[in-house]
Structure 1
Amino acid sequence: MLRGDWGQARFTIELADDASERARGLMFREKLPSSHGMLFVYPSPQRVGFWMKNTLIPLDMVFVDPSGTVLRIHENAIPHDQTVIDGGDGVLAVLEVNGGMARRIGIRAGDHMQHPAFGSEAIWPCVSP
């Protein structure tokens, strides 16, 4: 889930939390339902880079730090483009959603993400029922 001054948005995600899943990502997908995405989670904060090789649909990439804070957003990554999209340093997770979704919702740097991947450092921790 994401929240900001604009409100909250919930996505149904696929989790890519190992090297093989992160390498494949959303390649070869012909469509992605509007409320769905893929969350790439790394074992520790790091500099990450993405490309769109073999990716058929435009995507927005939301780069998030260990506290769940959105660091930056890359909008409308171009299908098949092999230019590296630099997420910067200190990234623990990246949410990929349909291209244009971040702008439509209003997601901005400084917003917060909620997911169990963000542990004790989370600004917006997951609460057990």
Structure 2
Amino acid sequence: MQLHLKCILIATLYTAGCHENTGNSNNNTAETSSAVDNVQTETTSNGSAFKKEGTLAFIAKNGADTLRKIDIQLAKTDQQREDGLMFRKSMTDDQGMLFIFPDLEERSFWMKNTYISLDIIYINDKMEIVSIQKYATPLSEQGLPSFKKAQYVLEVNAGFSDKYHISYGDKIQYE
């Protein structure tokens, strides 16, 4: 699909979502239900609120040390992966979003409609970190490729990888 058609489609979907009447008189929050997985998600003035769906641990290359643990929200469906962290204005250092894909491929993410600067961590099917795109520029439409095949992608706050010494070859485990 051509880029301008994608932009029109995204704008239409966004506009439809903005005009949805939830019946909630509080302008700061509204609850919406996802038809795909029947999960309640809270929407705030900062975009979708974080919804803890699991925990993830970073394991050092040598396998002996746990470098850091965080809470994760999962993006398993096409729609969840497409939405990602768009329109969120903040996220804590102990939170992240794990994108789960059905196959192992080279991936590329962008920051369109994403207000938070992120580290984008690409992970292969063996749960090993294969590349990291650090300090991704908010709202940028520049592609941020994995350069290697990845089945999982983890988005965390920018600087997370440096702060907690997360690097290529480290592994993850999640529940």
Q: Give the CA deviation at 1:57.
A: 0.8
Structure 2, unaligned stretches of length 5 or more? 1-56
Partner of 1:3: 59
User: Which of 59, 72, 78 is 2:118 aligned to?
Assistant: 59
Alignment map for 1:35-114 (pairs within 5 Å): 35-114=94-173
Q: Quick check: which has more Rg, 1 or 2? A: 2
The more displaced of 20-29 and 2-11 is 2-11
Provide the aligned C-alpha RMSD in A: 1.3
Task: Output the TM-score relative to the length of structure 2.
Answer: 0.64
* Identity over aligned pairs, percent: 31
Higher helix share: 2
Partner of 2:90: 31
Q: Deviations over 1:37-68 (max 9, x none)?
A: 00001001111110000000100011000000
Alpha-carbon distance in structure 2 between the residues aligned to 1:115 and 1:7: 12
In the alignment, is residue 17 of structure 1 matched against residue 76 of structure 2? yes
Secondary structure at the aligned position of 1:106 is classed as coil
Alpha-carbon distance in structure 2 between the residues aligned to 1:48 and 1:7: 26
Q: Is the 8 A contact 1:64 1:91 kept in 2?
A: yes
Q: Deviations over 1:8-58 (max 9, x none)?
A: 211100000111000110000010011000000100111111000000010
1:54 corresponds to which letter in structure 2? Answer: N
* Structure 1 residue ranges (4+ consecutive) displaced by more than 3 angstroms after TM superposition: none
The more displaced of 24-33 and 86-95 is 86-95
Q: Give the CA deviation at 1:100.
A: 0.3
Alpha-carbon distance in structure 1 between the residues aligned to 2:99 and 2:105: 12
Q: Give the CA deviation at 1:89.
A: 3.5
Q: Give the CA deviation at 1:4.
A: 1.2
